[in-house]
């Protein structure tokens, strides 16, 4: 049985796939920081808005970036940021049913606060 170039290439590819993947480095928290910053901005927009419809939309719009930030925080190993980001996700999901301006502003303030706590934790993790 001879080794053809194709068989060698296939064997090399499978060999590379079998190598262990190194754990994510702390510097990989950049995406989590970007998404958490988006969450904080959306919370700020909701808090500063004078229309309950726009405030509710801004607060609810923080949900997807909060989910992404949570996923990236877990991937970079920053467990301290996960809980506040999950809280922001839940708060943003609840913002869909807001019926008045004070409620929408309250959701926005809570989202912003949770995102800022998460950002502090993510920055500490990235500095390690």
Q: Please write the tens of the pLDDT for every residue from 2-18.
A: 556 555 454 554 454 44
| CATH number of the domain enclosing 86 | 1.20.120.660
Whole-angstrom distance, CA of residue 32 vs CA of residue 76: 8
Select the more confidently predicted residue: 2 or 67: 67
DSSP code, position 19 = S
What are the backbone angles phi and psi of residue 100, rounded to the nearest 5°? -150, 165
Q: Tell me, yes or no, whether 16 lies in a domain.
A: no
Name the H helices within 1-128.
5-18, 30-48, 52-60, 63-75, 82-94, 101-127
Q: Tell me, yes or no, whether 17 lies in a domain.
A: no
Which pLDDT score, from 0 to 100, does residue 96 have? 85
Q: Tell me, yes or no, whether 118 lies in a domain.
A: yes
Domain that holds residue 121: 25-127
Q: Tell me, yes or no, whether 108 lies in a domain.
A: yes
Q: Count of domains in the chain?
A: 1
Full-model pTM: 0.78
- The enclosing H or E element of 128 equals none
Q: Tell me, yes or no, whether 12 lies in a domain.
A: no
Q: Are 72 and 29 in contact (CB under 8 A)?
A: yes
Q: Tell me, yes or no, whether 9 lies in a domain.
A: no
Q: Tell me, yes or no, whether 100 lies in a domain.
A: yes
Q: Tell me, yes or no, whether 68 lies in a domain.
A: yes
């Amino acid at each position: 049985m001879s080794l053809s170039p194709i068989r060698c290439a296939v064997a090399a590819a499978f060999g590379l796939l079998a190598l262990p993947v190194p754990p994510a480095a702390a510097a990989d928290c950049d995406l989590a920081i970007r998404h958490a910053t988006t969450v904080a901005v959306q919370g700020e927009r909701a808090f500063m808005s004078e229309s309950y419809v726009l405030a509710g939309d801004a607060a609810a719009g923080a949900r997807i970036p909060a989910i992404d930030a949570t996923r990236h925080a877990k991937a970079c190993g920053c467990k301290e940021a996960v809980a506040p980001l999950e809280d922001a996700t839940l708060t943003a999901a609840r913002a869909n049913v807001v019926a008045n301006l004070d409620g929408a502003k309250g959701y926005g303030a809570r989202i912003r606060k949770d995102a800022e706590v998460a950002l502090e934790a993510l920055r500490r993790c990235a500095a390690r």
